[in-house]
Structure 1
Amino acid sequence: MIILPAIDIKDGRCVRLVQGDFSTTTQVAHDPLETAETFRKGGAVWLHMVDLDGAVEGTRKNEAIFLNVAAHSGLRVELGGGIRDMKTIEFYLTRGISRVVLGSAALSNPSLVAEAVKEFGAQLAVGIDAKNRKVATRGWLDTSEMDFLELAKRMEDMGVQTLIYTDISRDGTLKGPSFDQLRELSGEVCCKVIASGGISSIDDVRTLMKQGLYGAICGKSLYAGTLGLGEAVRVGGEQNVG
C-alpha cells in the first residue's frame, strides 16, 4: 500500500483544514518544496497535492508551486483541485504532474471523465468526497443527492482505474478514516482505492493495509506528529508502484 503524504495549498501557503471548513485554515509548513523533500527523505515516493483555491473557483491556481514540486522534489505528484476541463488536465500532465484527480467534474461533467480516461488512462483518478454518504462538490461547499457508491460504480464503468475516497466528517479530525465505508467501496468496485481523511496513527495504516487498499493519504497526522512517515512507509510496504 502506498503512503501519500499530503500538501494542500491555499493562497500559496501549505495549510490544513478541518472537515473542509475554510474558516479552520491553519498553516502547517512554510515552503512546499522543502516540505516535499522532507517527505521524500522519509521514504515517500508519491505526494498528494490539492489546489484549494482552484477547488473553489474551478480554475487553475497555484500552478507554479505544483510544477516546481513535481520538477525538483523527486516525488511523483498526484494533484487535485479545480481540474475541470481537458485543457487543465493536459496542462498538468504534460508538465510533470504524474496523476490528476477529477472531483466535482465527475458528477457535473461525466463526459469529461470519459474523454480524459480515453486519453490519459491510469494518469487520471477520481476523488469522491462524501458527507453522510452524499457526494460533495466545489471544494466541499455543495452537497448532491448521489450516494458515493453510485458515483464510484459509474466511474468504474467509464474505465477509471483509481478512486480516492474521503469521508468529509473525518477529514482533518485525527479520528480515524471511515473504515466501514472504505470496506464497502472496495467490495463494490475493482478500482484501486485510496483512503483519505482522518488517518491518525500507525494502527489506522495497519487496518487499511488489512483491507487491501491501494493507498492512504496522510496529512494532518504527519504535521501533528501522531504518525511517523517512515513507520507508515514500512508498514505500507512497496511504495514504488504506479
Structure 2
Amino acid sequence: MLIFPAIDIKDGECVRLRRGDYATAQKVAEDALQTARSFEAEGAAWLHMVDLNGAKDAHPVNASLVFQVVRKTGLKVEIGGGIRQMDTVAYYLQNGVSRVILGSAALRNPAFAKEAVRKWKEQIAIGIDAREGKVAAEGWQKTSTVDYLDFAKQMEQIGAQTLIFTDISRDGMLSGPNLEMLDRMNQSVSCRVVASGGIRHSADITALKALNLYGAICGKSLYEGTLNLSDAISAAGGQDET
C-alpha cells in the first residue's frame, strides 16, 4: 500500500484544516519544497498536494509552488483543488505533475471527468469527499444529495482507475479513518481506493492495509508527530505501485 504524505497550500503556506473548515487553517511548515524534500528523504515516493485557494476559487492559485516541488524533488506529485477544465489538467500534466485529482468538477460535470479519464487514463484520480455519506464539493463548502457509493460506481463506469475517499468528519481530527466506509467502497468498485482523513498512528496504517487499499494519505499526523513517515511506509509494506 502506498503512503501519500500531504501538503495543503493556502495563501502560499503549508497549512492543515479541521474537517475542511478554512477558518481553522493552521500553518504547519515553513516551506513546501523543504517539507517535500524531508518526506522524500524519509522514503516517500508520492506526494499529495491540494491547492486550497484553488478549490474555493475554481482555478489554480498555487501552481508555481506545486511545479517547484515537481522540478526540485524526485517525488511523483498528485494535485487537487480547483481543476474544472481540460486545459487546467493539461497545464499540470505538461509541467510534470504525475496525477490530477478531479473532485467538484467530476460531481458537477461527469462528462468532463469522462473525457479527462478517456484522454489521460491513470493520470486522473477522482476525489470523493463525503459528509454523512453524501458527496461534498466546492472546497467542501457545499454538500450534494449524491451518495458516495453511487458516485464511486458512476466514476468506475466512466473508466476512473483511482478514487480518493475522504470522510470529512474525520479529516484533520486524528480520530482514525472510517474503515467501514472505506471497506464498503473498496468492495463495491474495481477502482484503486486511497484512504484520506483521520489517520493518527501506525496501527491505522496496518488496519487500512488489511482492507487491501491502494494507498493512504497522511497529513496532520505527520505534522503533529503522532505518525512517523518511515514507520508508516514500513507498516504499509513499502512503496511499490502493485
Q: TM-score, normalised by structure 1?
A: 0.99
Residue identity opposite 1:140 in structure 2:
W
Partner of 1:94: 94
Partner of 2:206: 206
Unaligned residue ranges in structure 2 (runs of 5+): none
1:129-181 Cα shifts (integer Å, max 9, x gaps): 00000000000000000000000000000000000000000000000011000
Partner of 2:115: 115
Deviation >2 Å, runs of 4+: none
Partner of 2:35: 35
Indicate the SS of the match to 1:3: strand
Provide the C-alpha distance between the structure 2 equivalents of 1:83 and 1:240, rounded to a whole number of angstroms. 28
Partner of 1:48: 48
Partner of 2:69: 69
> What's the offset of the Cα at 1:238?
3.1
> What's the offset of the Cα at 1:237?
1.7
Indicate the SS of the match to 2:239: coil
Indicate the SS of the match to 1:163: strand
**RMSD of the TM alignment (CA)?**
0.7
Provide the C-alpha distance between the structure 1 equivalents of 2:19 and 2:13, rounded to a whole number of angstroms. 18
> What's the offset of the Cα at 1:208?
0.2
Aligned residues: 242
Provide the C-alpha distance between the structure 2 equivalents of 1:223 and 1:129, rounded to a whole number of angstroms. 22
Provide the C-alpha distance between the structure 1 equivalents of 2:13 and 2:240, rounded to a whole number of angstroms. 28
Provide the C-alpha distance between the structure 1 equivalents of 2:15 and 2:65, rounded to a whole number of angstroms. 14
Provide the C-alpha distance between the structure 2 equivalents of 1:52 and 1:229, rounded to a whole number of angstroms. 23
Superposed, 1:116-131 pairs within 5 Å as: 116-131=116-131
Provide the C-alpha distance between the structure 2 equivalents of 1:241 and 1:209, rounded to a whole number of angstroms. 14
> What's the offset of the Cα at 1:240?
3.7
Provide the C-alpha distance between the structure 2 equivalents of 1:237 and 1:184, rounded to a whole number of angstroms. 22
Partner of 2:215: 215
